[in-house]
Amino acid sequence: MNEQRKVVSEIIKENQHLNNSEIAKLLVEKFKQFKNSQTDSLRRYVSKIRKKEKLVQSTPLTINPDSPFTFKQEGKTAQAQGISDVRVQSLEDLVAFFKIDLNIWKVKKWECSVYESHTKMRHYDQEQQAKAGYFRIDDTHKVVPLYRVWALLEENRPLILLNDIKSEMMAELKAFAPKYPKISYSKDKDKKYLFELDIFDLHFGKLTWDEETGDNYDIKIARELFMTCLNQLIEQAKNYPVERIVFPIGNDFFNVDNIAETTVHNTPQDEDTRWKKTFVRGRQLIIEAIDTLRTIAPVDVLVIPGNHDFTRSFYLGDAVECWYHKCPDITVNNGAKVRKYYRYGKCLIGYTHGSEEKFQELPYIMANEEPQLWAETAYREWHLGDKHHRREIKWVSTEEYKGATVRFMRSLTSTDAWHYGKGYISSLRAGEGFIWDKNNGLVCEFSANL
Protein backbone atom coordinates (compact mmCIF):
# COMPACT_ATOMS: atom_id res chain seq x y z
CA MET A 1 0.00 0.00 0.00
CA ASN A 2 1.55 3.34 -1.03
CA GLU A 3 1.81 6.22 1.44
CA GLN A 4 -1.03 8.26 -0.05
CA ARG A 5 -3.49 5.38 0.01
CA LYS A 6 -2.44 4.53 3.56
CA VAL A 7 -3.22 8.09 4.71
CA VAL A 8 -6.63 8.03 3.02
CA SER A 9 -7.42 4.62 4.51
CA GLU A 10 -6.56 5.76 8.03
CA ILE A 11 -8.64 8.93 7.73
CA ILE A 12 -11.63 6.89 6.52
CA LYS A 13 -11.27 4.49 9.46
CA GLU A 14 -11.16 7.39 11.92
CA ASN A 15 -14.16 9.13 10.34
CA GLN A 16 -16.46 6.38 9.07
CA HIS A 17 -19.51 8.50 9.81
CA LEU A 18 -18.42 11.05 7.17
CA ASN A 19 -19.40 10.65 3.53
CA ASN A 20 -16.89 10.60 0.67
CA SER A 21 -17.16 14.32 -0.09
CA GLU A 22 -16.58 15.22 3.57
CA ILE A 23 -13.55 12.89 3.72
CA ALA A 24 -12.14 14.52 0.58
CA LYS A 25 -12.49 18.01 2.10
CA LEU A 26 -10.83 16.81 5.30
CA LEU A 27 -7.87 15.45 3.36
CA VAL A 28 -7.42 18.72 1.48
CA GLU A 29 -7.54 20.71 4.73
CA LYS A 30 -5.18 18.51 6.81
CA PHE A 31 -2.56 17.12 4.42
CA LYS A 32 -0.16 18.99 2.15
CA GLN A 33 -0.03 16.23 -0.47
CA PHE A 34 -3.74 16.75 -1.18
CA LYS A 35 -3.74 20.57 -1.23
CA ASN A 36 -3.78 20.78 -5.03
CA SER A 37 -6.15 17.86 -5.56
CA GLN A 38 -9.55 18.52 -7.07
CA THR A 39 -12.26 17.67 -4.56
CA ASP A 40 -14.34 15.74 -7.10
CA SER A 41 -11.42 13.52 -8.17
CA LEU A 42 -10.41 12.98 -4.55
CA ARG A 43 -13.97 12.02 -3.65
CA ARG A 44 -13.92 9.29 -6.32
CA TYR A 45 -10.54 8.10 -5.00
CA VAL A 46 -11.98 7.88 -1.46
CA SER A 47 -14.95 5.94 -2.83
CA LYS A 48 -12.62 3.52 -4.62
CA ILE A 49 -10.61 2.81 -1.45
CA ARG A 50 -13.79 2.44 0.60
CA LYS A 51 -15.13 -0.20 -1.77
CA LYS A 52 -11.83 -2.11 -2.00
CA GLU A 53 -11.24 -2.20 1.73
CA LYS A 54 -14.97 -2.37 2.60
CA LEU A 55 -14.71 0.73 4.76
CA VAL A 56 -18.35 1.64 4.29
CA GLN A 57 -19.85 4.74 5.80
CA SER A 58 -21.64 4.13 9.08
CA THR A 59 -23.93 6.38 11.05
CA PRO A 60 -23.32 6.50 14.80
CA LEU A 61 -26.30 6.02 17.03
CA THR A 62 -27.52 9.30 18.41
CA ILE A 63 -30.16 10.01 21.00
CA ASN A 64 -31.93 13.01 22.48
CA PRO A 65 -30.10 13.87 25.75
CA ASP A 66 -33.47 14.19 27.50
CA SER A 67 -34.53 10.68 26.47
CA PRO A 68 -34.60 7.76 28.96
CA PHE A 69 -32.84 5.59 26.36
CA THR A 70 -29.08 5.04 26.26
CA PHE A 71 -26.85 3.77 23.47
CA LYS A 72 -23.30 2.54 23.60
CA GLN A 73 -21.46 1.89 20.34
CA GLU A 74 -18.27 -0.14 20.10
CA GLY A 75 -16.97 -0.58 16.57
CA LYS A 76 -19.45 -2.53 14.46
CA THR A 77 -21.82 -3.31 17.35
CA ALA A 78 -23.92 -1.26 19.74
CA GLN A 79 -26.09 -1.77 22.79
CA ALA A 80 -29.37 0.00 23.40
CA GLN A 81 -31.30 -0.03 26.65
CA GLY A 82 -34.11 1.89 28.24
CA ILE A 83 -37.07 1.86 30.61
CA SER A 84 -40.48 3.16 29.63
CA ASP A 85 -44.20 2.58 30.08
CA VAL A 86 -44.40 1.85 26.33
CA ARG A 87 -45.28 -1.81 25.81
CA VAL A 88 -42.68 -3.78 23.83
CA GLN A 89 -43.83 -7.26 22.86
CA SER A 90 -42.20 -7.88 19.46
CA LEU A 91 -39.15 -7.04 17.38
CA GLU A 92 -41.23 -4.47 15.49
CA ASP A 93 -42.15 -2.81 18.80
CA LEU A 94 -38.48 -2.69 19.78
CA VAL A 95 -37.41 -1.13 16.47
CA ALA A 96 -40.08 1.55 16.89
CA PHE A 97 -39.22 2.00 20.59
CA PHE A 98 -35.54 2.79 19.91
CA LYS A 99 -36.15 4.29 16.45
CA ILE A 100 -33.54 1.97 14.95
CA ASP A 101 -32.59 2.64 11.32
CA LEU A 102 -32.68 -0.82 9.75
CA ASN A 103 -30.72 0.52 6.77
CA ILE A 104 -27.75 0.75 9.12
CA TRP A 105 -28.37 -1.71 11.97
CA LYS A 106 -29.78 -5.19 12.41
CA VAL A 107 -30.94 -6.54 15.77
CA LYS A 108 -28.79 -9.49 16.82
CA LYS A 109 -30.33 -10.07 20.28
CA TRP A 110 -33.00 -8.40 22.34
CA GLU A 111 -34.77 -8.81 25.67
CA CYS A 112 -37.71 -7.24 27.41
CA SER A 113 -38.86 -7.61 31.01
CA VAL A 114 -41.71 -5.95 32.86
CA TYR A 115 -42.06 -4.83 36.47
CA GLU A 116 -44.52 -2.71 38.45
CA SER A 117 -43.98 0.79 39.75
CA HIS A 118 -46.13 2.26 42.55
CA THR A 119 -46.91 5.95 42.21
CA LYS A 120 -48.59 8.09 44.87
CA MET A 121 -51.38 10.21 43.38
CA ARG A 122 -52.31 13.39 45.32
CA HIS A 123 -55.72 15.04 45.09
CA TYR A 124 -56.49 18.63 46.05
CA ASP A 125 -59.60 20.56 46.97
CA GLN A 126 -60.03 23.15 44.21
CA GLU A 127 -61.85 25.78 46.31
CA GLN A 128 -59.27 25.62 49.10
CA GLN A 129 -56.49 25.69 46.52
CA ALA A 130 -57.89 28.86 44.95
CA LYS A 131 -58.18 30.64 48.33
CA ALA A 132 -55.11 29.59 50.27
CA GLY A 133 -52.87 27.55 47.99
CA TYR A 134 -52.66 23.75 47.83
CA PHE A 135 -54.81 21.81 50.27
CA ARG A 136 -54.46 18.01 50.04
CA ILE A 137 -57.59 16.01 50.88
CA ASP A 138 -56.38 12.41 50.25
CA ASP A 139 -53.67 10.24 48.69
CA THR A 140 -54.07 7.18 46.46
CA HIS A 141 -51.63 4.82 44.84
CA LYS A 142 -51.41 3.88 41.17
CA VAL A 143 -49.64 0.79 39.84
CA VAL A 144 -47.81 1.42 36.54
CA PRO A 145 -46.22 -1.40 34.47
CA LEU A 146 -42.74 -0.46 33.24
CA TYR A 147 -40.77 -2.20 30.51
CA ARG A 148 -37.01 -2.70 30.66
CA VAL A 149 -35.75 -3.18 27.10
CA TRP A 150 -32.29 -4.19 25.91
CA ALA A 151 -30.96 -4.85 22.42
CA LEU A 152 -27.64 -5.79 20.85
CA LEU A 153 -27.26 -4.21 17.42
CA GLU A 154 -24.88 -5.10 14.64
CA GLU A 155 -24.02 -3.02 11.58
CA ASN A 156 -25.93 -4.16 8.51
CA ARG A 157 -22.75 -4.12 6.43
CA PRO A 158 -24.11 -5.44 3.10
CA LEU A 159 -27.00 -2.98 3.10
CA ILE A 160 -24.76 -0.09 4.16
CA LEU A 161 -22.40 -0.94 1.32
CA LEU A 162 -25.24 -1.08 -1.19
CA ASN A 163 -26.67 2.24 0.00
CA ASP A 164 -23.19 3.78 -0.08
CA ILE A 165 -22.67 2.59 -3.66
CA LYS A 166 -26.12 3.84 -4.64
CA SER A 167 -25.52 7.26 -3.04
CA GLU A 168 -22.18 7.52 -4.81
CA MET A 169 -23.72 6.52 -8.13
CA MET A 170 -26.58 8.99 -7.71
CA ALA A 171 -24.12 11.77 -6.90
CA GLU A 172 -22.08 10.90 -9.99
CA LEU A 173 -25.14 10.79 -12.24
CA LYS A 174 -26.53 14.07 -10.95
CA ALA A 175 -23.13 15.74 -11.23
CA PHE A 176 -22.90 14.79 -14.89
CA ALA A 177 -26.57 15.23 -15.79
CA PRO A 178 -26.78 17.14 -19.09
CA LYS A 179 -27.81 20.78 -18.87
CA TYR A 180 -30.90 21.30 -21.01
CA PRO A 181 -31.46 24.84 -22.30
CA LYS A 182 -34.71 26.30 -21.00
CA ILE A 183 -37.48 26.28 -23.58
CA SER A 184 -39.67 29.37 -23.85
CA TYR A 185 -43.02 27.76 -24.53
CA SER A 186 -45.76 29.83 -26.12
CA LYS A 187 -47.84 31.73 -23.59
CA ASP A 188 -50.95 31.49 -25.73
CA LYS A 189 -54.00 31.71 -23.47
CA ASP A 190 -55.69 29.07 -25.62
CA LYS A 191 -53.15 26.50 -24.45
CA LYS A 192 -55.40 24.68 -22.05
CA TYR A 193 -55.07 20.98 -22.74
CA LEU A 194 -53.25 18.06 -21.19
CA PHE A 195 -51.81 15.49 -23.61
CA GLU A 196 -51.55 11.96 -22.19
CA LEU A 197 -49.59 9.22 -23.98
CA ASP A 198 -50.06 5.61 -22.86
CA ILE A 199 -47.62 3.28 -24.63
CA PHE A 200 -47.88 0.31 -22.30
CA ASP A 201 -46.49 -3.24 -22.19
CA LEU A 202 -43.68 -2.85 -24.71
CA HIS A 203 -41.83 -5.83 -23.17
CA PHE A 204 -38.53 -4.44 -24.40
CA GLY A 205 -36.05 -7.30 -24.69
CA LYS A 206 -38.57 -9.99 -25.67
CA LEU A 207 -37.55 -12.32 -28.52
CA THR A 208 -40.04 -13.98 -30.89
CA TRP A 209 -39.54 -15.83 -34.19
CA ASP A 210 -42.09 -15.60 -37.01
CA GLU A 211 -41.83 -19.31 -37.88
CA GLU A 212 -42.79 -20.13 -34.30
CA THR A 213 -45.27 -17.39 -33.45
CA GLY A 214 -46.07 -15.73 -36.77
CA ASP A 215 -44.15 -12.57 -35.89
CA ASN A 216 -40.58 -11.37 -35.27
CA TYR A 217 -39.75 -9.21 -32.26
CA ASP A 218 -36.48 -8.00 -30.72
CA ILE A 219 -35.09 -4.77 -29.21
CA LYS A 220 -34.58 -3.15 -32.63
CA ILE A 221 -38.15 -3.86 -33.73
CA ALA A 222 -39.49 -2.80 -30.31
CA ARG A 223 -37.62 0.51 -30.50
CA GLU A 224 -38.93 1.23 -34.01
CA LEU A 225 -42.51 0.41 -32.99
CA PHE A 226 -42.28 2.59 -29.88
CA MET A 227 -40.97 5.69 -31.68
CA THR A 228 -43.39 5.21 -34.60
CA CYS A 229 -46.27 5.01 -32.13
CA LEU A 230 -45.03 8.06 -30.22
CA ASN A 231 -44.73 10.16 -33.39
CA GLN A 232 -48.17 9.10 -34.64
CA LEU A 233 -49.77 10.11 -31.35
CA ILE A 234 -47.96 13.46 -31.45
CA GLU A 235 -49.18 14.00 -35.04
CA GLN A 236 -52.77 13.23 -34.05
CA ALA A 237 -52.60 15.69 -31.15
CA LYS A 238 -51.00 18.57 -33.06
CA ASN A 239 -54.27 20.49 -33.55
CA TYR A 240 -54.79 20.79 -29.79
CA PRO A 241 -53.00 23.59 -27.93
CA VAL A 242 -51.20 21.53 -25.27
CA GLU A 243 -49.88 23.16 -22.09
CA ARG A 244 -48.62 19.99 -20.38
CA ILE A 245 -47.88 16.33 -21.13
CA VAL A 246 -48.23 13.32 -18.81
CA PHE A 247 -46.16 10.31 -19.87
CA PRO A 248 -46.42 7.15 -17.72
CA ILE A 249 -43.50 4.72 -18.17
CA GLY A 250 -42.81 1.28 -16.76
CA ASN A 251 -45.91 -0.95 -17.06
CA ASP A 252 -43.82 -3.89 -18.32
CA PHE A 253 -41.66 -1.65 -20.44
CA PHE A 254 -39.01 -4.35 -19.90
CA ASN A 255 -39.76 -8.03 -20.46
CA VAL A 256 -37.68 -9.36 -17.55
CA ASP A 257 -36.68 -8.12 -14.13
CA ASN A 258 -33.24 -9.59 -13.45
CA ILE A 259 -30.02 -11.25 -14.60
CA ALA A 260 -31.73 -14.65 -14.55
CA GLU A 261 -34.04 -13.40 -17.35
CA THR A 262 -37.22 -14.04 -15.40
CA THR A 263 -40.13 -11.86 -14.38
CA VAL A 264 -40.42 -10.57 -10.82
CA HIS A 265 -42.31 -13.80 -10.03
CA ASN A 266 -39.46 -15.92 -11.48
CA THR A 267 -41.23 -16.92 -14.70
CA PRO A 268 -38.58 -17.58 -17.42
CA GLN A 269 -38.81 -15.48 -20.61
CA ASP A 270 -37.34 -15.60 -24.12
CA GLU A 271 -34.86 -12.70 -24.24
CA ASP A 272 -33.19 -11.12 -27.25
CA THR A 273 -29.84 -10.07 -25.81
CA ARG A 274 -27.75 -9.49 -22.68
CA TRP A 275 -29.59 -7.92 -19.73
CA LYS A 276 -27.16 -5.00 -19.41
CA LYS A 277 -27.53 -4.09 -23.08
CA THR A 278 -31.32 -4.32 -22.81
CA PHE A 279 -31.42 -1.93 -19.86
CA VAL A 280 -29.07 0.62 -21.50
CA ARG A 281 -30.96 0.56 -24.81
CA GLY A 282 -34.27 0.81 -22.97
CA ARG A 283 -33.11 3.82 -20.97
CA GLN A 284 -31.87 5.51 -24.14
CA LEU A 285 -35.24 4.90 -25.80
CA ILE A 286 -37.21 6.47 -22.94
CA ILE A 287 -34.89 9.49 -22.87
CA GLU A 288 -35.26 9.93 -26.64
CA ALA A 289 -39.06 9.84 -26.22
CA ILE A 290 -39.05 12.38 -23.37
CA ASP A 291 -36.69 14.69 -25.29
CA THR A 292 -39.13 14.57 -28.23
CA LEU A 293 -42.15 15.36 -26.03
CA ARG A 294 -40.28 18.14 -24.24
CA THR A 295 -40.17 20.18 -27.46
CA ILE A 296 -43.98 20.43 -27.28
CA ALA A 297 -44.62 21.15 -23.60
CA PRO A 298 -43.29 20.39 -20.10
CA VAL A 299 -43.48 16.66 -19.36
CA ASP A 300 -44.56 14.88 -16.16
CA VAL A 301 -43.20 11.32 -16.04
CA LEU A 302 -44.87 8.73 -13.79
CA VAL A 303 -43.17 5.38 -13.17
CA ILE A 304 -45.64 2.47 -12.92
CA PRO A 305 -44.05 -0.90 -12.01
CA GLY A 306 -45.25 -3.97 -13.89
CA ASN A 307 -45.42 -7.66 -13.02
CA HIS A 308 -42.57 -8.40 -15.44
CA ASP A 309 -40.25 -5.51 -14.52
CA PHE A 310 -41.21 -4.41 -10.99
CA THR A 311 -37.70 -3.56 -9.73
CA ARG A 312 -36.28 -2.73 -13.15
CA SER A 313 -38.95 -0.03 -13.56
CA PHE A 314 -37.67 1.60 -10.38
CA TYR A 315 -34.08 1.55 -11.66
CA LEU A 316 -35.26 3.04 -14.95
CA GLY A 317 -37.16 5.79 -13.15
CA ASP A 318 -34.14 6.51 -10.96
CA ALA A 319 -31.86 6.80 -14.01
CA VAL A 320 -34.34 9.07 -15.81
CA GLU A 321 -34.72 11.27 -12.72
CA CYS A 322 -30.94 11.68 -12.49
CA TRP A 323 -30.66 12.37 -16.23
CA TYR A 324 -33.17 15.24 -16.05
CA HIS A 325 -31.88 16.51 -12.71
CA LYS A 326 -30.91 19.83 -14.29
CA CYS A 327 -33.91 20.09 -16.63
CA PRO A 328 -36.71 22.29 -15.22
CA ASP A 329 -39.22 21.15 -17.85
CA ILE A 330 -39.27 17.50 -16.73
CA THR A 331 -40.64 16.08 -13.47
CA VAL A 332 -40.35 12.41 -12.51
CA ASN A 333 -42.59 10.67 -9.97
CA ASN A 334 -40.73 7.47 -9.07
CA GLY A 335 -42.27 7.09 -5.62
CA ALA A 336 -42.51 3.72 -3.90
CA LYS A 337 -46.30 3.41 -4.22
CA VAL A 338 -47.41 1.09 -7.03
CA ARG A 339 -50.50 3.21 -7.69
CA LYS A 340 -50.02 6.81 -8.72
CA TYR A 341 -52.47 9.64 -9.29
CA TYR A 342 -52.34 12.65 -11.58
CA ARG A 343 -54.65 15.63 -11.30
CA TYR A 344 -55.37 18.13 -14.05
CA GLY A 345 -58.05 20.65 -13.09
CA LYS A 346 -61.27 18.70 -12.48
CA CYS A 347 -59.71 15.53 -13.96
CA LEU A 348 -58.14 12.73 -11.89
CA ILE A 349 -56.27 9.86 -13.55
CA GLY A 350 -55.12 6.83 -11.59
CA TYR A 351 -52.34 4.57 -12.86
CA THR A 352 -51.51 1.01 -11.90
CA HIS A 353 -50.37 -1.96 -13.94
CA GLY A 354 -53.55 -3.95 -13.36
CA SER A 355 -52.04 -7.33 -12.53
CA GLU A 356 -52.68 -7.28 -8.77
CA GLU A 357 -55.84 -5.36 -7.89
CA LYS A 358 -59.37 -6.45 -8.68
CA PHE A 359 -60.38 -3.94 -11.32
CA GLN A 360 -63.93 -3.79 -9.89
CA GLU A 361 -62.50 -2.29 -6.71
CA LEU A 362 -60.29 0.37 -8.30
CA PRO A 363 -62.85 3.21 -8.13
CA TYR A 364 -63.27 2.53 -4.40
CA ILE A 365 -59.50 2.33 -3.95
CA MET A 366 -59.17 5.75 -5.61
CA ALA A 367 -61.85 7.24 -3.38
CA ASN A 368 -60.21 5.82 -0.23
CA GLU A 369 -56.58 6.58 -1.11
CA GLU A 370 -57.21 10.10 -2.38
CA PRO A 371 -60.47 11.32 -0.77
CA GLN A 372 -59.54 14.98 -1.18
CA LEU A 373 -58.74 14.63 -4.89
CA TRP A 374 -61.86 12.54 -5.37
CA ALA A 375 -64.00 15.24 -3.78
CA GLU A 376 -62.41 18.04 -5.82
CA THR A 377 -62.68 16.36 -9.25
CA ALA A 378 -65.57 15.41 -11.52
CA TYR A 379 -63.86 13.29 -14.19
CA ARG A 380 -62.03 10.22 -12.89
CA GLU A 381 -60.39 7.36 -14.73
CA TRP A 382 -58.01 4.47 -14.17
CA HIS A 383 -55.55 3.63 -16.97
CA LEU A 384 -54.13 0.10 -16.79
CA GLY A 385 -51.90 -2.19 -18.83
CA ASP A 386 -51.20 -5.91 -18.37
CA LYS A 387 -54.09 -7.35 -20.48
CA HIS A 388 -52.66 -6.25 -23.88
CA HIS A 389 -56.12 -5.50 -25.23
CA ARG A 390 -58.52 -2.61 -24.95
CA ARG A 391 -61.35 -2.74 -22.49
CA GLU A 392 -63.44 -0.06 -20.82
CA ILE A 393 -65.61 -0.36 -17.70
CA LYS A 394 -67.71 2.48 -16.31
CA TRP A 395 -68.95 2.79 -12.75
CA VAL A 396 -71.80 5.22 -12.07
CA SER A 397 -73.08 6.00 -8.59
CA THR A 398 -76.38 7.95 -8.52
CA GLU A 399 -75.10 10.49 -11.05
CA GLU A 400 -72.58 9.89 -13.82
CA TYR A 401 -70.11 12.55 -12.69
CA LYS A 402 -69.72 10.77 -9.35
CA GLY A 403 -68.48 7.57 -10.96
CA ALA A 404 -65.21 6.46 -12.54
CA THR A 405 -64.01 4.70 -15.66
CA VAL A 406 -61.42 1.91 -15.81
CA ARG A 407 -59.57 1.49 -19.11
CA PHE A 408 -57.20 -1.30 -20.11
CA MET A 409 -54.74 -0.18 -22.78
CA ARG A 410 -53.51 -2.05 -25.83
CA SER A 411 -49.90 -3.16 -26.19
CA LEU A 412 -47.20 -2.93 -28.88
CA THR A 413 -45.56 -6.23 -28.00
CA SER A 414 -45.56 -9.44 -30.00
CA THR A 415 -46.98 -12.80 -28.87
CA ASP A 416 -44.25 -15.03 -27.44
CA ALA A 417 -43.98 -18.80 -27.95
CA TRP A 418 -45.69 -19.74 -24.66
CA HIS A 419 -48.72 -17.51 -25.22
CA TYR A 420 -48.96 -18.57 -28.87
CA GLY A 421 -48.96 -22.23 -27.85
CA LYS A 422 -51.79 -21.55 -25.38
CA GLY A 423 -53.75 -19.75 -28.07
CA TYR A 424 -53.45 -16.31 -26.40
CA ILE A 425 -53.03 -14.38 -29.62
CA SER A 426 -52.41 -10.66 -29.17
CA SER A 427 -55.06 -8.28 -30.41
CA LEU A 428 -54.38 -5.12 -32.37
CA ARG A 429 -51.05 -3.46 -31.54
CA ALA A 430 -51.52 0.15 -30.52
CA GLY A 431 -50.62 3.01 -28.23
CA GLU A 432 -53.28 5.33 -26.82
CA GLY A 433 -53.48 9.12 -26.65
CA PHE A 434 -55.88 11.32 -24.67
CA ILE A 435 -56.61 15.04 -24.66
CA TRP A 436 -57.94 16.44 -21.39
CA ASP A 437 -59.60 19.78 -20.69
CA LYS A 438 -59.26 21.16 -17.15
CA ASN A 439 -62.96 21.87 -16.79
CA ASN A 440 -64.62 19.56 -19.30
CA GLY A 441 -62.70 16.34 -18.81
CA LEU A 442 -61.74 14.03 -21.67
CA VAL A 443 -62.36 15.76 -25.01
CA CYS A 444 -60.55 13.44 -27.40
CA GLU A 445 -58.99 9.99 -27.53
CA PHE A 446 -57.09 8.36 -30.37
CA SER A 447 -54.95 5.32 -31.13
CA ALA A 448 -51.75 4.75 -33.07
CA ASN A 449 -52.50 1.37 -34.62
CA LEU A 450 -49.45 -0.54 -35.86
Q: Is the pLDDT of residue 417 over 80?
A: no
Which position has the higher pLDDT, 280 or 420? 280
Three-state DSSP class for 352? coil
Q: How many CA atoms lie within 13 A of 41 on its CB side?
A: 6
Indicate if 345 and 441 belong to the same structural domain. yes
pLDDT at 66: 44
Q: Which of 199, 248, 207 is nearest to 225 (CA)?
A: 199
Cα 23 from Cα 50, distance rounded (Å): 11
User: Do residues 222 and 146 both lie within one domain?
Assistant: no
Confidence of residue 163 (pLDDT cuts 50, 70, 90): low
Lowest-pLDDT range of 88-97, 228-237, 418-427? 418-427
pLDDT computed for residue 64 by the predictor: 41
- Averaged pLDDT, 33-55: 75
Residue 302 has what pLDDT? 97
How would DSSP label each residue in 231-287?
HHHHHHTTTS-EEEEEEEEESS-BS--STT-B-TT--B--BSS-HHHHHHHHHHHHH
Residues 378, 379, 385, 386: is their CA dihedral positive or negative?
A: positive
291 shares its domain with 351: yes
* Per-residue pLDDT at 187: 74
In a domain, 277, yes or no: yes
Q: Mean pLDDT throughout 329-352?
A: 94
Give the tens place of pLDDT for each residue, 263-284.
888 888 888 888 889 999 999 9
Is the residue at 63 inside a domain? no
- Mean pLDDT estimate for the chain: 80
Which one is predicted more confidently, 409 or 187? 409
Instruction: Tell me the per-residue pLDDT of 121-152, one tens digit each, with 9 for 90 and over.
Output: 555 555 555 455 544 545 555 666 777 777 88
Q: Are residues 197 and 249 in the same domain?
A: yes
Q: Which residues pair with 193 in a beta bridge?
A: 242, 437
The structural domain count of the chain equals: 3
Do 435 and 378 share a domain, yes or no? Answer: yes
Closest CA to 313 of 258, 365, 364: 258
Residue 271 CB-half CA count within 13 A:
22
Same domain? 388 vs 339: yes
Query: Are 251 and 207 contained in the same domain?
Result: yes
Q: What does DSSP assign to residue 357? A: S
Res 390: pLDDT = 59
Given a cut of 80, whether residue 378 has pLDDT beyond it is yes
Evaluate if pTM is beyond 0.95: no
DSSP code per residue over 163-228: HHHHHHHHHHHHHT---PPPP-----TT--EEEEEE-B---BTB-B-HHHHSS-B-HHHHHHHHHH
Q: Using CA atoms, how far apart are residues 12 and 88, in angstroms rounded to an integer?
A: 37
Same-domain pairing of 293 and 405: yes
Residue 316 and residue 440 in one domain: yes
Mention every residue, 6+ apart, whose C-beta is less than 8 A from residue 109: 151, 152
What domain range includes position 367? 177-181+188-449
Q: Can you give the pLDDT at residue 139?
A: 54
Mean pLDDT check: name the lowest of 8-22, 226-240, 356-370, 404-418: 8-22
Of 317 and 180, the one with more pLDDT: 317
> Does residue 201 have a pLDDT over 50?
yes
Query: 437 falls in which pLDDT band (50, 70, 90)?
Result: very high
Distances in Å between the Cα of 43 and the Cα atoms of 12, 28, 292, 430 are 12, 11, 35, 48
Q: Are residues 307 and 270 in the same domain?
A: yes
- 235 & 131 share domain: no
Q: Would residue 105 count as lying in a domain?
A: yes
Q: What is the arithmetic mean of pLDDT over 241-256?
A: 94
Amino acid at 37: S
Q: Which residue has the higher pLDDT, 185 or 313?
A: 313
